[in-house]
């Protein structure tokens, strides 16, 4: 997958451990508009639970969680 394949923004959170991927996701989403999409790329398996929980609490939608080799790719649709 091309890293920016149709996404508004791509967050490279490789090598970061909890809570940094969630904090960086939150900071980027603040700069985006409703309808934009964010791809988070992480190597921390905790993001599979942490980011969907954060999205649910903050009203955003996880479109897909995919694992490719040692990376977790999470696609997020920005809502309000």
Domains of the chain: 9-77 (3.30.110.40)
pLDDT digits (tens, 9 = 90+) for 31-80: 999 999 999 999 999 999 999 999 999 999 999 999 999 999 999 999 98
pLDDT digits (tens, 9 = 90+) for 3-19: 667 899 999 999 999 99
**Stated pTM of the model:** 0.93
Contact 13, 30 (CB under 8 A): no
- Say whether 55 is catalytic: no
DSSP letter (8 states) at residue 19: T
Burial of 10 (0-12, 13-18, 19+ CB in 10 A): middle
Q: Which of 18, 32, 62, 65 is the catalytic position?
A: 18
The token duo for 11 is 């967050």
């Amino acid at each position: 997958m091309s890293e920016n394949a149709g996404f508004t923004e791509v967050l490279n959170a490789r090598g970061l451990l909890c809570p940094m991927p969630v904090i960086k996701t939150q900071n980027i989403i603040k700069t985006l508009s409703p309808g934009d999409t964010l791809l988070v790329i992480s190597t921390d398996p905790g993001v599979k639970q942490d980011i969907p929980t954060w999205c649910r609490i903050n009203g955003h939608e996880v479109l897909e969680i995919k694992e490719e080799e040692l990376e977790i790719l999470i696609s997020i649709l920005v809502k309000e």
